Amino acid sequence: MTRRLLLLFLLLFNLQTLAVSLSSDGLSLLSLKSAVDNTSAFSDWNEDDDTPCNWTGVSCMNVSGSPDPRVVGLSLAGRNLRGYIPSELGTLVYLRRINLHYNSFYGQIPAQLFNATSLHSIFLYGNNLSGPLPPSICSIPRLQNLDLSSNHLSGVLPPELRNCKQLQRLILASNQFSGSLPDGIWPAMVNLAQLDLSANEFDGEIPEDIGELKSLSGTLNLSFNHFSGKIPNSLGKLPLAVSFDLRGNNLSGEIPQTGTFVNQGPTAFLNNPLLCGFPLRKKCENSDQNAPPGSGQRHTPSSDNLKKGLKPSLIVLISLADAAGVALIGLIAVYVYWKRNDSDGCSCTGKKKLGGGNGRHGWCLCICANDAAASEGGDSDREVGGSGRGEGELVAIDKGFTFELDELLRSSAYVLGKSGLGIVYKVVLANGAPVAVRRLGEGGEQRYKEFATEVQAIARVKHPNIVRLRAYYWAPDEKLLVSDYISNGSLASALRGKTGKPLSGFSWSVRLQIAKGTARGLAYLHECSPRKFVHGDIKPSNILLSHDFQPHISDFGLNRLISITGDNPGSSGGFMGAALPYLKTVQTDKPNNYRAPEARVFGSKPTQKWDVYSFGIILLELLTGRSPDQSPTASTSTEITDLVRWVRRGFEEENALSDMVDPVLLQEMHARKEVQAVFQIALACTEPDPEVRPRLKTVSENLDRIGN
C-alpha cells in the first residue's frame, strides 16, 4: 500500500513539474499539434521542454516586458497537415507571422485567432478552409499581409475591412465569395499595394472608389467573377504602373480612355462580350472613341441615323464619294506594291505616322522591315542603313516570339529606368504581353555586322536565372534590345524601397533563394555560356525579381554593345526618346560601390573574379540589410569603414551575430547556422586578393548545400 502511494505521489509531482516547466506559449502551440491528424511534422514538439523556441517552425525573440523569449512566428507550410486551426493560437499575444499555406486545414477561421493583436502577416492559402471572412479580422492594428486564396471561403466581404488601414496585400482569389463589393472601404486602405479578388462569385458594379487606391501597384485583379455594368472612369486615376485584369466578367459599354487605361493591353478586358472600344477590336456604335487616341479615325454615323437625319439624294452622294475614296485607296495600294517590287523588295518613300497624341506616345519614323527578320537569327550579313535596303530592321531571335515593328511602336510605353547602359521602357504589345525595351544609342551605323554578332552571342545564353533576349532593332540612328519583362522590379528596389531605406519583411528563405538563383546564373555565364561571359557590373539593380522572387540577371554583354554604338544611350534622341520627353526626370545610377578593388583602376579589363567580389557584396547586403552606400559605423564613433571591413572586423572580434545581421532575420532563430554559413561564403568572395576568391561554380555549389 505504501509503495502504491509513493508511485502516485511521484506521478502527481511529474505532472505538476510538466505544467510548470513548459511556457504558456508552448501550451498554446500544443493545441495545434492536438488538432492535426498527421503529427509527424511535430516530432520535436516535446511537452517536457522548457520553451517551444527550438521546435520546428517556431520562431522566438526577446520582447520588452517579458523575461523569457516569446513566440513571434509560426511557419509550417507544405507539411501535409490535415486538421482544424485551433482558437488557442489567438492567445499568442506576440505572434507576428502565421504561415500554414499548402496544407489541408478545414473548417472556419476562428475569430479568436485575431486576439493575437501583434499579427502582421497571415498566410493560409492553399487549404480547405470554409465559412465567411470573420469581421473581427481588422481588429488587428498592424495587419499588413492577408493571403487566404485557394480555399472554400464564402459570404460577402465585411464592411469592417475599412479598418485594415495598414493592410498592404489583400489576396482572396479562388474562393467562393459573393455579393457586391462594399462601398466606402477602399479609400480607407491607404497602404494597399496588391488586391486580388479573382475567381470568386462577386457581382454587381465595380465600386467607383476603388480608383482611390493610390498605393496600388502590380495588377488589380478582378477577373473571372460576375461584375456587370460599365468600367468606372475612376480606375484611370490609379498609378500608371498598375495593370488591370478584368477578364471573364459581364462588363459592358465603352472602355474609358483616360489615365492608366492607356497602358492596358486587350488581354485585360477579354471575355466581356458587351465591352467595346480600344484596345479591343470591337467598335462601339455611336462613338468616335473606340480607336487609339490620336489615331484621327473619323466617326461614321450608323445606318439608322443616316435614314433618320439625311435625305435620300444626300445618301446617294455620300455613297458615291465613299466609293471614289475606296477606288483611290486601291490605286495607291497597287502603285506601292509595284514600287516595292521594283526596289528589290523594300523601300521607304516617306515617313509613316505611328502612335498618336492624347496621352499615347507617338512618333514619326520611316520603317522598312524585311520579312526575313522574323526568322531566327535574322540575316546578320545584310548591311542595314546607307545600303538602299531600308532604314530599320527588327530581328526576332526567338521563333516563338514574333511581332511586327509597327506593333511595337504602336504600343504604349513608359520608362522603367535610366543608366549608363541605356534607357529601359516597359512596352505592352497588342496581345497584352509586356516586354522590356532597352534603347542603346544612335551611333555605330557602319558596324552592323559586329553589333549583330554580339547580340546573337547574348541571345544564345538561355538560363532560368538570366533575362532572355527576344529581339533587336537596328537602324543607323537607333538600336533597341527587346527582352522579357520581369514583373517584380529589381533587388535594389525590394531591399531599399522607394525611400532608399532597407525594406523589412524580407524573409531568410526568400533571401537565400535569391542568393542561390543569382549564383547559378552567374556560374552559367562563367562556365557554360558560349563565350564564358564576364558580367562586369553585378549589383542589385541588375538583378530583377519575378512575382515569386526568383532572380533574373540582366544587362550582361551590354558594355560591348555600348562601345559599338559609340555614343551616350541615355540621351533623349531617337524615336523612343522623342516619344517620351519626360526622360530628364529619371534618376541615373549612383556610383557603383559593388566593384572589386582592382576594378576601380582605370583601364583594367573585367574578369570573372570581379563578378565574384560583386556577388559577395550582394550577399553581405542580404545578410546585414545594409547597402555598401551606407558606411557602417565601426567600434568608435569617429571611424568609418566600408561594409566588407566592418563585417570582417565583427568576426575577428567575435561580436555577436545579432550585432551584424539584419534585425528582421533575428526573428528566424532556426536559420542561425545557415546565416553563419552564408556569411563565410560572402567573406570568401570579397577577399582583397582576386586569386584567393573562389569560382562562382564553387560558390553556387556551396550555397545549394545550405538549407537542404
pLDDT confidence of residue 674? 87
Secondary structure (DSSP) of 200-212: SEEEEPPPGGGGG
Residues 6 or more apart whose CB falls under 8 angstroms from that of 542 comprise: 490, 535, 553, 554, 555
pLDDT confidence of residue 562? 73
pLDDT confidence of residue 122? 92
Query: Which set of grid coordinates corresponds to residue 60?
Result: 522566438
Among all residues, which ones are annotated catalytic? 537
| Residue predicted with more confidence, 348 or 184 | 184
Q: Are 557 and 456 in contact (CB under 8 A)?
A: no
CA dist list (Å): 201 to 208, 221, 244: 19, 14, 18
Per-residue model confidence as pLDDT tens digits over 528-549: 877 788 888 899 988 999 888 8
Q: CB burial class (10 A; 0-12, 13-18, 19+) of residue 341?
A: exposed
Task: Please name the residue ranges forming H helices in 292-311.
Answer: 303-309
Looking at this protein, which amino acid is placed at residue 475?
A
- For 111: left if phi > 0, alpha if psi spans -120 to 50, otherwise beta; the answer is alpha
Predicted TM-score (pTM) of this structure:
0.47
Secondary structure (DSSP) of 662-708: -GGGGG-GGGHHHHHHHHHHHHHHT-SSTTTSPPHHHHHHHHHHTT-
In degrees and rounded to multiples of 5, residue 517 shows phi and psi of -65, -40
Q: Tell me which residue has cell 532597407.
A: 502
Q: Are 162 and 140 in contact (CB under 8 A)?
A: no
Per DSSP bridges, beta strands 128-131 and 104-107 are parallel
- CB atoms < 10 A from the CB of 688, how many? 12
What is d(CA 153, CA 132) in angstroms, rounded to the nearest whole number? Answer: 6
- Give me Rg for the CA atoms of the chain: 31
Predicted confidence (pLDDT) at residue 204 exceeds the cutoff of 80: yes
| Residue predicted with more confidence, 147 or 40 | 147
| Residue predicted with more confidence, 657 or 288 | 657
Rounded average pLDDT over 617-638: 70
How does residue 389 score in pLDDT terms, banded at 50, 70 and 90?
very low
Burial 521-535 (b: 16+ CB within 10 A, else e): bbbbbbeebeeebbb
Predicted confidence (pLDDT) at residue 517 exceeds the cutoff of 90: yes
Give the 3-state secondary structure of residue 136.
helix
In degrees and rounded to multiples of 5, residue 470 shows phi and psi of -110, -35
- CB atoms < 10 A from the CB of 157, how many? 21
- Max intra-chain CA distance, the chain: 124
What is d(CA 393, CA 405) in angstroms, rounded to the nearest whole number? Answer: 8
pLDDT confidence of residue 354? 28
C-alpha 415, offset from chain centre: 16
Q: CB burial class (10 A; 0-12, 13-18, 19+) of residue 20?
A: exposed
What is d(CA 483, CA 456) in angstroms, rounded to the nearest whole number? Answer: 13
| Average pLDDT of every residue of the chain | 75
- Per 3-state DSSP, the chain is made up of helix, strand and coil in percentages (nearest 5) of 35, 20, 50
What is d(CA 252, CA 243) in angstroms, rounded to the nearest whole number? Answer: 19
What is d(CA 276, CA 251) in angstroms, rounded to the nearest whole number? Answer: 10
End-to-end CA distance of the chain: 56
Among 260, 266, 226, 225, residue whose Cα is nearest residue 243:
260
Q: Tell me which residue has cell 497571415.
A: 122
pLDDT confidence of residue 413? 64
> What sign for the dihedral angle of Cα 277, 281, 282, 285?
positive
Highest mean pLDDT among 414-418, 632-636, 681-685: 681-685
Per-residue model confidence as pLDDT tens digits over 284-295: 886 544 444 444
C-alpha 605, offset from chain centre: 34
pLDDT confidence of residue 669? 66
pLDDT confidence of residue 291? 43
CA dist list (Å): 283 to 227, 255, 264, 296, 428: 21, 10, 17, 15, 21
Secondary structure (DSSP) of 182-237: PTTSTTT-TT--EEE--SSEEEEPPPGGGGG-TT--SEEE--SSEEEEPPPGGGGG
Give the 3-state secondary structure of residue 418.
strand
What is d(CA 680, CA 668) in angstroms, rounded to the nearest whole number? Answer: 19
Q: Are 95 and 118 in contact (CB under 8 A)?
A: yes
How does residue 304 score in pLDDT terms, banded at 50, 70 and 90?
very low
Residues 6 or more apart whose CB falls under 8 angstroms from that of 84 comprise: 35, 105, 106, 107
Predicted confidence (pLDDT) at residue 416 exceeds the cutoff of 80: no
Among 529, 527, 540, 538, residue whose Cα is nearest residue 625:
540
Give the 3-state secondary structure of residue 364.
strand
Give the 3-state secondary structure of residue 571.
coil
pLDDT confidence of residue 119? 92
Per DSSP bridges, beta strands 58-61 and 70-75 are antiparallel
The dihedral over CA atoms of 47, 51, 54, 55, expressed in degrees to the nearest 10, equals 40
* Structural domains present in the chain: 59-276 (3.80.10.10), 393-565+592-630+640-705 (1.10.510.10)
Per-residue model confidence as pLDDT tens digits over 346-358: 333 333 332 223 3
pLDDT confidence of residue 706? 85
